Amino acid sequence: MADSEPAADSGSASSGSPQPQSLLPMEVHRKTSSDSSESKKSAGKGIVTIYGSGQQEVEEYSFAETLKAFRYMEKARKEGKDIKTLLQRTLNTDFVKNSTSQVKSVIETLVEQTERLNEENEELRRQVELRHESDPHEAGELARLQQEVSSLQTQLRTARTDAAAAEAKIDGVKEQLAAQEAQASKAIDSLKSNVTALQSSLEVRDRELRDKTAMLHKQLDEKTSQVTALETQVDELRSGERGEGDTAAVAELQDLQQEVESLRTANSELRLKLQQSESKATCAEAKVEALEADLRMEREKRAQQEAETQRLIESAVEKEREHFLQKEKEMESEFQAEVRRFQLERESPKQQPITPPSKPQPPGPTGTTYTEQQIQEMLQEHQRLKREADEAADAKHQKIMALEDQLAAAHRKASRLEASLEEGRRSWAG
């Protein structure tokens, strides 16, 4: 978007005064996906086409690579004034020397075109000086108009820089949201694995308790059978059928009765413990099911919020980009028309001194000039467009902040669910 700036600066470097004509031999056009059938092959990727004199296409470069080249040129601009020196210095930087991209070829092309533009500007400057010598009034009027055009160009560069900064900020927010989304997904997956592990532990413990209870039941049945047999023998001994004084059988019967009583007590305690365990397991399973339901609901809600967030961000970015491109195209068209009109005024034969028109007239390549009121209106319109862009960027930033707050609330709720699950696991382990 700032592709035509080096050409404009080359004029000031060669003549000491702004020369808007230097924009004509080299124009940079950013194609979009709707410009031509060729651009459909690279949908979504900006292409910068650099033209030479006579509108002959020279080369096409990636917009991102061209933007990198101009950024390094702007960095080098702070250390010098001559555009050719800046370009050469940029070529000698470590970034360009070690770069495997097309940045170096872009800058070399700009160096060659800058040299040609300097020669053309010098020739135009000599022609203008010759004409100014014969008409001082026209020279003053032209200088004033050139200064106004230079001011408009500076404002246009500022608007482009602000738009690029806004896009970079939006990209940063999108990356931050993506990282937060990945972190939230990881936390929910961890909760799910913890719930699964707790369920497995409950099943294993329940199975062990049931196996132990079955074994104790079997032992109790065996001992009960032995007790029954001994009781029968004792009854026979007491009835005198097998003799008297068999104290050994009586002692054995008493021992077995005590052992059976002990087994019955242990079995009762185990039954009570199993019932308590089953009750606790039932409560834990109910709590786990409730947590799983909450997790499902939270996950669905988060998915909806993230989808809505992504849709809003993409919609806002697309609208902002379309609005900016439209305004940029309009401003570029007005600026090019103004430059062409200046050139036509200089190249046309002198008929009469330039006088301000009595009524405002629309701009165009017809030899007319802008009045002070028209230029003020153009400046006011540009300022209004810049304010609108700033307000839209602020509104977009507020919306993104609100979405970030919603995402943070979802994270907090997921943390509370995880804490509840951990508490349930500790209570079950206790």
Phi, psi dihedral angles at 31 (to 5 degrees): -85, 150
Rounded to whole angstroms, how far apart are CA atoms 355 and 275?
107
Q: Do residue 121 and residue 209 come from a single domain?
A: no
Q: Do residue 116 and residue 1 come from a single domain?
A: yes
Rounded to whole angstroms, how far apart are CA atoms 27 and 333?
12
Give the tens place of pLDDT for each residue, 316-374: 777 777 877 787 777 777 777 777 776 677 666 544 444 444 444 444 444 445 566 76
Query: Domain ends where: 134, 160, 176?
Result: 134
Helix ranges, 30-135 (H): 63-77, 83-91, 94-97, 103-134
Report the pLDDT value the prediction gives residue 196, as an integer from 0 to 100.
79
Q: Do residue 102 and residue 217 come from a single domain?
A: no
Q: Write the single-letter amino acid at 255.
A: D
Global pTM reads 0.29
* Mean pLDDT over the full length of the chain: 67
Q: What is the edge-to-edge ordering of all strands in the sheet holding 57-62?
A: 28-31, 47-51, 57-62
Is residue 59's pLDDT more than 60? no
Q: Is 143 a member of any domain?
A: no
Q: Do residue 109 and residue 232 come from a single domain?
A: no
Query: Domain ends where: 82, 99, 134?
Result: 134
Query: Domain ends where: 296, 315, 335?
Result: 296
Rg of the chain on CA atoms, in Å: 44
Q: What range defines the domain where residue 41 resides?
A: 1-134
DSSP 281-336: HHHHHHHHHHHHHHHHHHHHHHHHHHHHHHHHHHHHHHHHHHHHHHHHHHHHHHHH
Number of domains, the chain: 2
Give the tens place of pLDDT for each residue, 229-275: 777 777 776 676 544 456 776 777 777 778 778 877 877 887 787 77
Q: Do residue 14 and residue 120 come from a single domain?
A: yes
Rounded to whole angstroms, how far apart are CA atoms 41 and 91?
31
Is residue 87's pLDDT more than 70? no
Q: Is 310 a member of any domain?
A: no
Q: Do residue 98 and residue 217 come from a single domain?
A: no
Q: Is 221 a member of any domain?
A: yes
The Cβ of residue 403 has, within 10 Å, a number of other Cβ atoms equal to 19
Single out the residue of 63, 28, 60 nearest to residue 44, CA to CA.
63
Q: Do residue 3 and residue 128 come from a single domain?
A: yes
Q: How far is CA 356 from CA 359, 374, 406, in A?
A: 9, 11, 59
Q: Is 130 a member of any domain?
A: yes
Q: Do residue 229 and residue 125 come from a single domain?
A: no
Mean pLDDT of 91-115: 68
